[in-house]
Amino acid sequence: DGMQSFDGVIEKMIRRGEVNKDEALAYATNHNNLLLRLADFGGAPQPNVPPVAPPQKGGSMLNMIE
């Protein structure tokens, strides 16, 4: 796999469930960088955003204003 950073190994262990996030952060070389790497892991669920209606042909942009 080539060169690995200590925090990279910790990240993999967290993602595999071998160690919990709070415990691993205590041993991280760079706490903030590890948090950034884990930003997509165990975060808040994606918001349920309704789809946007396609623009109507021949209309004015002013029609979009309510």
Span 12-46, pLDDT tens digits: 999 999 999 999 999 999 999 999 999 887 654 45
- pLDDT above 80: residue 53: no
SS3 state at 58: coil
* Most confidently modeled range among 1-10, 36-45, 46-55: 1-10
Distance CA 37, CA 4 (A): 14
- Rounded to an integer, what distance in angstroms lies between the CA atom of residue 17 and that of residue 10? 11
Rounded to whole angstroms, the maximal C-alpha distance in the chain is 60
Q: Which residue has the tokens 């396609």?
A: 54
pLDDT recorded at residue 44: 46
**Predicted local confidence at residue 40, as pLDDT:** 84
Kindly list the distances between the CA atom of residue 45 and the CA atoms of 15, 34, 49, 51, in Å, as whole numbers in the listed order: 17, 20, 12, 17
**Of the ranges 4-8, 10-14, 47-51, the best mean pLDDT one:** 10-14
